[in-house]
Amino acid sequence: MVDNARQVQLSVQNGQTRRRFIQAAGVAGVVTVTGCVGGDDEDTAPEEGVAEDPDGEEVPTVAYENLDPDSPLRYWYGEEHAGYMEELGLEVDYNSRALDAHLERVFDTRDFDCAPMRYLDGYDPDALLRAFSQAALGEGGDNTSGHDSEEYEEWMAEQREAVDEDDRQEIVHEMYEYLMEEQVISPIAVQDRAMPYNEDRVSNVQEVLEDGLASIWNMVNLELDGGAEGDDMLTIASHEELPTLNPVTGLEARSSRDMIRLIYDRLMHPDPDNDYMPSSWAAEEFGWADDTTYEITLREGMEWHDGEPVTAEDVAFTFEYSDENSPDFQAVATNFESAEAETDLDVTFELSQPDATWESEVLAGAEAHLIPQHVWEGEDPSEIDIDEDLIGSGPFQFEAFEPGEEVRLSRHDGHHHEPNVEELIRLESADASSSASLVTTGEVDLVNFDLPADQLVDLEDEDGIALQNANMTSLHYITWNQRREPFANIDLRQACAHTIPRDDIVDVGADGFAEVTHAPVAPDLEFWYTEDVPTFEFDIEAGQQVLLDAGFEWHADTGRLHYPADYDPVD
């Protein structure tokens, strides 16, 4: 509430707000924040917050950058949000662009003021927290907000070195509280990654955060109950292009990561039965020998798909080779120094400093798939022959790849997590609608990529079709560019955080396939999640009050917002 004795009337300059109910009603120009005007005083002096000639500078036009309709949810709520921001007296220059142009402005040139994002995925909080650090400030870096704080850098170092999980959790929660008080970003929601499957044919499906049906746990554990393709052939569809299956250089696309982890083992995997903490996979035993020395013991009897034994030498080679050849590995394994095979099964890793993310981001991450030394030694990773050299030790082995059409894998008999199906075929469909059609007609058993909300609503009504529905780990959020005005100003960030209609975004924009969050972490990551953070509910009056309390004023004629008189805007 602004003040129960005041009324602030704001004229929105240059056209109407984008909110649909305002458009439908044909209302434009003036937005009134309701208050109670007291008494019969005929004083002509400006009311609180409104001035004929504000002392402070006019807040500059907001460059609002968004994606085009190819990203329907962000496109929808970006327009809604921009309209609500205008109700604070801001002029918003709203732009929607194709993905490449959008990413260039937000990540490269940083020529924007605010933008809706869906980003910052992962099971470990370090990936998210790193996006607000000095290390990510440069061109192309994840620090789209331009946040820069020495105190925060100290926290980053502390949480990375806190190998005790409880100690680290306490530090991480402090960092969340700080980020939300500063509104470095404004979290909105965590979207569901719902994937359809034929429930008459597919069973033993597990709800897995982020990866859903594509998770390795589902690919090895699900069971088939007969059908046209035979009892032991799993057929899946995906409408995401599969660019490569190279385990060293091909990790950018989700579609590639989904298939590569089936062919190539990791030492560990995030465990959905243990809060997604790293658990045993190729490494049977593991742990810290001291603060910077980590030891693993491989499972006995592991074999590459060509029949050669998997040895500690292969593991040591994988890490040394990746450190030389993989920028993705280098980005996460920043403290890696060396790997040495002690016996046929035992490997010792030396790190430059304690690293709490070593297990979660490196050993259980997508950047360190085990590769055979006898295939990769001396080879340029970009010149590996897909047809001859895709030899892993994972639960499925490579059979064939026809880009744009299909991938064929077969079961790796004797694997420590041997799949229940003999064959796996991945068909590449033209688009999301085609994927949905393939599963409803029974031509495929499941779709291992998420579908738009409107198609999910239709699939819910299809007989024999079920949805495996789990949250993503990535967040929908608004990033505020603090490198320049207006969002170098914390009061404006906090006020605009009150203009985000989170419930409408979830209920209307996402058709309920999402969950509101005020913390910068997915709620289903229960160990790392906390509700003990400052919240900024959707409330235009509350946003206006933030500005009034900070000394902002509105121009009586134009309705435009002006800075406090004593505020010195960032150049």
Do residues 7 and 544 make contact, with C-beta atoms less than 8 angstroms apart? no
Percent residues over pLDDT 90 in the chain: 83
Domains in the chain, number: 2
Are 170 and 315 in the same domain? no
Mark which of 467, 499, 530 sits at the end of a domain. Answer: 467
In a domain, 1, yes or no: no
DSSP 526-560: TTT--S-S----S-HHHHHHHHHHHT-EEETTT--
Are 326 and 204 in the same domain? yes
Domain of 391: which CATH number?
3.40.190.10
Separation of alpha carbons 554 and 552, rounded Å: 7
Are 128 and 230 in the same domain? no
Amino acid at 12: V
- 297 backbone dihedrals φ, ψ, rounded to 5°: -125, 125
Q: Please, which pLDDT band fits residue 127 given cuts at 50, 70 and 90?
A: confident
Are 179 and 216 in the same domain? no
Domain of 116: which CATH number?
3.10.105
Amino acid at 216: I
Q: With 70 as the cut, is the pLDDT of residue 32 above it?
A: no
Q: With 70 as the cut, is the pLDDT of residue 2 above it?
A: no
Are 165 and 225 in the same domain? no
pLDDT of residue 48: 81
Return the structure tokens found at 225.
Answer: 């109950």
In a domain, 519, yes or no: yes
Tens-digit pLDDT profile for residues 329-340:
998 999 999 999
Separation of alpha carbons 463 and 205, rounded Å: 18
Rounded to an integer, the average pLDDT of 126-130 is 92
Rounded to an integer, the average pLDDT of 314-337 is 95
Mean pLDDT for all residues in the chain? 90
What residues make up the domain containing 316?
195-467
Separation of alpha carbons 253 and 238, rounded Å: 13
Mark which of 423, 450, 467 sits at the end of a domain. Answer: 467
Mark which of 467, 496, 531 sits at the end of a domain. Answer: 467
In a domain, 215, yes or no: yes
Do residues 278 and 360 make contact, with C-beta atoms less than 8 angstroms apart? yes
Are 380 and 497 in the same domain? no
- Note the helical H segments in 410-452: 432-440
Selection from 397, 308, 318 nearest residue 363 by Cα:
318
Return the structure tokens found at 96.
Answer: 């929607």
Rounded to an integer, the average pLDDT of 209-223 is 96
pLDDT of residue 13: 30
Helix axes 490-497, 540-550, angle to 10 degrees: 160
> Going along 227-292, which residue ranges are E strands?
233-238, 268-271, 277-280, 283-290
Three-class secondary structure of residue 260 per DSSP: helix
Tens-digit pLDDT profile for residues 60-106:
999 999 999 988 899 999 999 999 999 999 999 999 999 999 999 99
Q: With 90 as the cut, is the pLDDT of residue 4 above it?
A: no
Are 312 and 406 in the same domain? yes
Query: Which residues on adjacent β-strands are paired with residue 478?
Result: 116, 186
DSSP state of 89: T
Token pair 């100690």 is found at: 167
Are 456 and 497 in the same domain? no
Those residues whose C-beta lies under 8 Å from the C-beta of residue 19, and which sit 6 or more positions away, are 80, 83, 84
Tens-digit pLDDT profile for residues 501-538:
999 999 999 999 999 999 999 999 999 999 999 999 99
Do residues 94 and 17 make contact, with C-beta atoms less than 8 angstroms apart? no
- Residue of higher predicted confidence among 2 and 208: 208
Q: With 50 as the cut, is the pLDDT of residue 40 above it?
A: no
Are 235 and 372 in the same domain? yes
Separation of alpha carbons 295 and 348, rounded Å: 5
Do residues 346 and 296 make contact, with C-beta atoms less than 8 angstroms apart? yes
Return the structure tokens found at 506.
Answer: 């979830």
In a domain, 569, yes or no: no
Are 236 and 161 in the same domain? no
Are 149 and 118 in the same domain? yes
Q: Is 290 exposed, middle or buried (0-12, 13-18, 19+ CB in 10 A)?
A: exposed
Are 241 and 314 in the same domain? yes
Tens-digit pLDDT profile for residues 374-403:
999 999 998 888 777 899 999 999 999 999
In a domain, 511, yes or no: yes
How many degrees, rounded to 5, is the angle at CA 272 between CA 271 and CA 273? 90
Separation of alpha carbons 133 and 536, rounded Å: 23
Do residues 260 and 250 make contact, with C-beta atoms less than 8 angstroms apart? yes
Separation of alpha carbons 468 and 199, rounded Å: 10
Selection from 292, 290, 311, 314 nearest residue 302 by Cα:
311
Return the structure tokens found at 82.
Answer: 């921009």
